[in-house]
Amino acid sequence: MEALSDAMRLELRQWRILVSLVDPGATDTAIFGKTLAELDALKGRLGERGYDLYGAQIEAIRKTVVKTAADADPPLEVAKAVAHALTSDKPKTRYLAGHGAKAAATLARTLNDHVKDAAVAKEVGLPEPE
């Protein structure tokens, strides 16, 4: 979405059409419940062998989803950013809205992919490579 927003902003610039990206942090929506339900359903779909291979990752993701859901901001925080982008005479090109959005954006722009992957894997508690 970020790349698409950047491209649209440049393409539409000649007509003075402004493009803003709203980049939300953890937001209290139904996605957390849906994700937990899907994680629960995976065990049956993967079978014993699949769960042996992916069980540790699934449990690590489950813990992260539960923790993130507990820290999530109400949707109003994202709605405020959207409202500002739509009504401002000079909207920002990017809005970082909600819990964790600023930190995630900073890390995404400053770390290379390998370091970022390692940091996320450690934070989530994913198994170490064999």
What are 49-82's pLDDT values in tens digits? Answer: 999 999 999 999 999 999 999 999 999 999 999 9
Residue 110 has pLDDT above 90, yes or no: yes
What is the reported pLDDT for 99?
83
- The pLDDT tens digits for 3-59 are 999 999 999 999 999 999 999 999 999 999 999 999 999 988 999 999 999 999 999
What is the reported pLDDT for 32?
97
What is the reported pLDDT for 81?
97
Q: What is the pTM of this model?
A: 0.81
What is the reported pLDDT for 74?
96
Distance CA 70, CA 120 (A): 19
What is the reported pLDDT for 5?
96
Cα dihedral sign, 1-58-111-28? positive
Distance CA 101, CA 104 (A): 5
Return the biggest CA–CA distance within the chain: 58
Domain ranges of the chain: 24-124
| Average pLDDT of the segment spanning 98-105 | 89
